[in-house]
Amino acid sequence: MERATFEDLIARKLAKDSKRGEIRDIYVPSLGKTLAFERPADAVAIRFLDELTADGDTASLYEAYQSMIYRCCPALQSEKLAAELGAVVPTDTVPMIMDIDDVLDVGAKLMIFLGLAKPKQGDAEDGETVEEKVKN
């Protein structure tokens, strides 16, 4: 293997910086549309990972995905949306709009987008299947 040079390290830092704030559209099946998700800072992504691994049960995973979806999707953070939906807690907008399978599917795709998980074999780099790519 080749040893990294000073220039390689600088190029890597610049590449990493360019990902900060990156936006990715993720398809939400029950909406039949995509929502835009923004890549958070690495420290926030690591906190998501902590939340996901805290208890290890499905309910905890579901709640962690809801939180991650809410915090990465500016459209779901709208105070107007929360008021219109009657959300008591702002993160309530997620389960009010998305079905359980949407939360699990979008959460898994967000994990890939944030670099916290790898796509399954046969899926695209963003975690979408070939069928989803065709739909979109």
Q: Yes or no: say if 35 and 41 are a contact pair by the CB < 8 Å rule.
A: no
Domain locations along the chain: 6-135
pLDDT for 18-53, tens place per residue? 788 899 999 999 999 999 999 998 888 888 888 887
The separation between CA 18 and the C-alpha centre of its own chain, rounded to angstroms, equals 18
CATH number of 6-135: 3.30.2220
35 DSSP assignment: E
Q: Check pLDDT > 80 for residue 135.
A: no
What confidence category does residue 129 fall into, taking pLDDT thresholds of 50, 70 and 90? very low
Cα of first residue to Cα of last residue in the chain, in angstroms, is 40
pTM for this entry: 0.79
pLDDT for 87-124, tens place per residue? 999 899 999 999 999 999 999 999 999 988 888 776 66
